[in-house]
Structure formats: structure tokens, C-alpha cells
Amino acid sequence: MFGTWYANTLKIAIFSMLIGVVLTLLTSYAVSRFRFKARKTALSTVLILGMFPGFMSMIAIYMLLKEFNLLDTHIALIIVYAAGAPLGGTFIAKGFLDTIPRSLDEAARIDGASNFGIFMRVILPLSRPMITYMALTQFVGPWVDFIFARLILRTKENWTVAVGMWDMVNTNQNTNFTLFSAGAVLISIPIMILFVFLQRLLVDGLTAGASKG
């Protein structure tokens, strides 16, 4: 059963990471490169929403997922995790994108590139450190989350590894603490590997996004 929980968590974390990074990049690119009427309002909204902890919206999210018959599904977790990514990463990603000279955009536009072409061929290749940072943070969140997964997932086969391990030691009369410790080590392995191999890009992305330049 632990293998099933592990696979469920890996699937949820990977899909949440991919969708969340795309949403955050598109949002930050829009507010960094374009000037539109509701730009300041959008930035203020993202900032204000990001100040509130996620568990404050759990009841509302639960009711919405119930209305759409998405309770006890992995899709529900992926949607919520991915949709919340721009709230936490937009300002950091925007700070990084602001450091990329606009002259590169203008040169590409002179060569006939569209806004989407500039984003794909100019912005993304130069944003690898930031993409790495966002991917790691977006992966770790769903990977270790317990509260929301425990609220949404009901059947044992759909549990994530955090919920499954909590169930192992939920009662005082059990002998599963050794299994719990072994599971905790297995949980840390993917995160440790990612941080070891992507450490340089992670530091570059975090420090570059912290200043406007």
C-alpha cells in the first residue's frame, strides 16, 4: 500500500508542478512586460491573497469540489495546488523577469517575433534559474502536504503518502513507528536528489528574483 501512496503523491506533485510553473510564468510575464489598465489592481490582488494562509479557504474549496463531484480525486488536488502557485510565485518571478533587458524583446520584435515567440525563444531560455526555483518549490508543497489531502481524499487507495503515514501512527496502540521512520526517509530522497543536482540554479533563481536589477 505504501507503494501506491508513493505513486499517488509523485503523480500529484509532478502534474501540480508542471501546471503551476506554467501559470506562474504566464502571470509574471504579463505583469512584467505589459502595461494594461488593471495591472496594479491585479498585482495588489495577488499580493493580498498571498498574505492569507491557504487553510482559510479550505471550506469554500471543499464546497466547490463537492459541487463538481471532484472529492476523493487526485484531479482536485492538482487543480488546487496548481491554481495557488501564482499567488506565491508571481512576485519573485516578476522580479527575475524585470532583470532581463527589454532590448532583447525589442530586437526579437523587429525580427518579426510575436509576444508568444518572445516568451518561448527569449524569456524561457534566460529564465532557467527561476524556472528551477519555482519547479522545486511547487513540487515540495504537494509532496509534503497533509491537511488538504486529508480533507479531500477519502478512500485508502487514493491517499497520498503523508496521509497514509499519518494513518500508520494515528492510534496509540500500534507498532508501526519503525515503518513510519522508514517511510519518512523514502519521502526525503526525491527532494534531496533534486536539491543536490539543482542547487546552483536554485540559488541563482532565488537571489536574482529578489531584486529588480
pLDDT tens by residue, 106-156: 888 888 888 888 888 888 888 888 888 888 888 888 888 888 888 898 888
pTM recorded for the entire structure: 0.81
What CATH class is the domain 2-209? mainly alpha
> How confident is the model at residue 172, as a pLDDT?
59
Coil, strand or helix: which one is 40? helix
pLDDT of residue 12: 92
